[in-house]
Amino acid sequence: MLSGVERGKTGASNSAWGVITHTMGLIAQVTESFNRKAVFIAALEVANKKGAVWLKKKGFNSAYDFAKDTVDQTQGVYDKANRSNWANTSVGAPLMVFKQFSINYVEQMVRMWKKEAASGDEGKKAVFLMLALLASLSGVMGLPFIKDILDVSETTAAFLGNPVNIEREARLALGKDLADPLFNGVLNHFVFNNLGMDIQGRTGMPDLVPWSNALNPTLSAQGRINEFASIAGATGGLIEKGYDATQLIARDEYGAAAKTLAPRFLTSWIDGGKMAATDEVTDSKGNKLFDTTWDEGLVKFIDANPKRMADLSRTKSLEWKDFAIQDYMTTSFKQKIIAAMMDKDQAEVNKLMKEVEVWNNARSRYPVYIDLNTLAENANKKDQTFDAREKIRKGMTWVKNERPEM
C-alpha cells in the first residue's frame, strides 16, 4: 500500500483482498498521503522563495524537482527499486516488510547529519529535532538502537558475573515521577496517557538489530527462542500465530484459534467490545488481569493501546528480566555447590556459601536462597543410575518393565 501511496495513488486494488487490505490500512494511508502532500507544498514554497538561481546551484531544474526530492528524502521511497537486493527476493521481501520504514528513518538521519548548509549545521540540528520528537512520543526507550545497546551491555555484564537489568536500575534511581515521562515519552505521558491511551509501542524503534540479546546467559528458554525468531520479523509472527492456532484446534478451541489467525484490527474489535461489555480484560489464557471501563474498551476497539494495558505490559517485561537474573544466579550457585559436594570438597562449599552471602548483601533485590540439605540430596542422586534416580509417575508403573536392564 505504501508503494502505491508514495507514487501518488491510493494504494487500493480491484481485487477483493486488495479492497479488504486497503480498508484495514485506511488510517495509515490517509496519514501517509497527508504527510507527503504537506511536505511537498512546504518544499514548493521554499523553492519559490529561494529562486531559480539557488535551485540551479543545488542541482534542481525546477521547484517541482526540489519538492519531489524533498518528499523522497524525508518521507522515504517504498517501491521495489529502493529496496536492497536481499529485500527483493522471495525470502527477504516478507522478512523486511515492516523494516523498511525504520531503515529509511535511520538513513534519513545519517543523510541529514552529513548535510552541509551555507547557513550552518541545519542538518545536525534537524537530527536532534527528530530524535527529540521521537523521544517525546516513545521516551528514551524508543530511540533507535537503544534496546540493542542495552542488550549488548547486559549480556556483557552477565558474562562478567554481574547480571543487571539496566532499565530497572535507572527507573529505581530516578523515581517513578521522573522515570515514567523520561522512559515512556513526555507527550505520551502527559497528553496521550491522560486520554487513556499509550503510543510508546507504536512510535519507537529501539530494536533494529536482530539477535542482539541471543547470547545473554540469563535469557529463559522461551526468551531465547523469541530472540532467534526475531530475524524472521513479521513473517515469524505469522508463523507463530499459525502454530498457536493449530495447538488451539488440537484442544477443540476453534473460536480462540480463529481469533488468533484474525488480523489485528479484528482482534482489537473483539477485545475492545468484550472489555466494554464485561468491564474486565483477560490474558490469552482467559485469566482476568484487571477491571476496565467502557472508555478503555473504546480505546482498544479503535486499535489503540489502553494506558493501563501498556503499563502492565512494561511492568511484566521488567519483572521477567528481574526474575531471570535471580533464577540464573540461583542456578549458577546451586550447580557449583553440588559439584563441590560430589567432590567431597567442604572448603569449596563454604567458600561458595560466602559468595552467596556477598551477592545477597550487594544485590539484595535478587536474593539467592540455598538449602544445603536439598543440594546434598541432589548431589547423592547424581551418583545413582538412571533407574534408581528417576521416579516412576503415579499410575504409570508399567513403564518400569519396559526399561532396559542397567
Backbone angles phi, psi at 280, to 5 degrees: -155, 160
Q: Which three cell numbers stand for residue 363?
A: 544485590
What Cα–Cα distance (Å) separates residue 91 from each residue in 95, 226, 236, 243?
A: 7, 20, 12, 20
Number of domains in the chain: 2
Q: What is the pLDDT of residue 298?
A: 94
Report percent pLDDT > 70 for the chain. 87
Q: Are 203 and 133 in contact (CB under 8 A)?
A: no
pLDDT(55) > 80: yes
Query: Which SS3 state, helix, strand or coil, does residue 285 take?
Result: coil
Q: Is residue 194 in a domain?
A: no
Segment 287-305 shows an average pLDDT of: 92
Which pTM value belongs to this model? 0.80
Segment 83-95 shows an average pLDDT of: 68
pLDDT(289) > 70: yes
Distance CA 361, CA 272 (A): 46
Q: Side chain identity at 59, as an amino acid letter?
A: G
Distance CA 29, CA 257 (A): 29
Query: Which SS3 state, helix, strand or coil, does residue 140 take?
Result: helix
Q: What is the pLDDT of residue 345?
A: 94
Q: What is the pLDDT of residue 315?
A: 95
**Which pLDDT tens digit goes with each residue over 103-158?**
888 888 888 888 766 556 778 888 999 999 999 999 999 999 999 999 999 999 99
220 versus 51: the higher-pLDDT residue is 51
Q: Which three cell numbers stand for residue 198?
A: 499509550
**Which pLDDT tens digit goes with each residue over 178-214?**
999 999 999 999 999 999 999 998 899 998 888 899 8
Report percent pLDDT > 90 for the chain. 55
pLDDT(287) > 80: yes
Q: Which of 252, 274, 303 is the last residue of a domain?
A: 303
Q: Are strands 288-291 and 280-282 parallel, antiparallel or unpaired?
A: antiparallel
Q: Side chain identity at 228, as an amino acid letter?
A: F
Q: Is residue 396 in a domain?
A: no
Radius of gyration of the chain (CA): 28
Q: Which three cell numbers stand for residue 316?
A: 511484566
Q: Which three cell numbers stand for residue 293?
A: 471501563
Q: Is residue 20 in a domain?
A: yes
Q: Which three cell numbers stand for residue 87?
A: 529485500
pLDDT(327) > 90: yes
Q: What is the pLDDT of residue 363?
A: 94
The residue count of the chain comes to: 406
Q: Are 385 and 403 in contact (CB under 8 A)?
A: no
Q: Is residue 310 in a domain?
A: no
Q: Are 234 and 97 in contact (CB under 8 A)?
A: yes
Helix (H) or strand (E) holding 147: helix 146-159
Q: Is residue 165 in a domain?
A: no
pLDDT(6) > 80: no
Q: Which three cell numbers stand for residue 51?
A: 529562486
Q: Is residue 60 in a domain?
A: yes
**Which pLDDT tens digit goes with each residue over 11-52?**
444 566 566 556 656 666 777 888 899 999 999 999 999 999
Q: Which of 82, 98, 124 is the last residue of a domain?
A: 82
Q: Which structural domain range is residue 29 located in?
A: 1-82
Q: What is the pLDDT of residue 121?
A: 75
What is the overall mean pLDDT for the chain? 86
Please, is 161 exposed, middle or buried when counting C-beta atoms within 10 Å of its C-beta (0-12, 13-18, 19+)?
exposed
Q: At 404, is the pLDDT very low, low, confident or very high (cuts 50, 70, 90)?
A: confident
Q: Which three cell numbers stand for residue 205?
A: 524503534
Q: Are 135 and 197 in contact (CB under 8 A)?
A: no
79 versus 322: the higher-pLDDT residue is 322
Q: Are 11 and 4 in contact (CB under 8 A)?
A: yes
Query: What is the CB neighbour count within 10 angstroms for residue 193?
Result: 21
Alpha carbon distance, N-terminus to C-terminus of the chain: 65
Q: Which of 303, 325, 359 is the last residue of a domain?
A: 303
Q: Is residue 110 in a domain?
A: no
Q: What is the pLDDT of residue 118?
A: 56
Q: Which of 7, 32, 8, 29 is nearest to 19 (CA)?
A: 29
Helix (H) or strand (E) holding 291: strand 288-291
For 23-32, 67-76, 274-283, which range has the lowest pLDDT when averaged over its residues?
23-32
Q: What is the pLDDT of residue 346?
A: 94
| HSE of 360, CA atoms in CB hemisphere, 13 A | 12
pLDDT(169) > 70: yes
Q: At 340, is the pLDDT very low, low, confident or very high (cuts 50, 70, 90)?
A: very high
Please, is 47 exposed, middle or buried when counting C-beta atoms within 10 Å of its C-beta (0-12, 13-18, 19+)?
buried
Q: Is residue 65 in a domain?
A: yes
**Which pLDDT tens digit goes with each residue over 341-382?**
999 999 999 999 999 999 999 999 999 999 999 999 888 887
Q: Are 148 and 209 in contact (CB under 8 A)?
A: yes
What contacts 294, CB < 8 A, 6 or more positions away? 275, 276, 279
Distance CA 307, CA 188 (A): 10
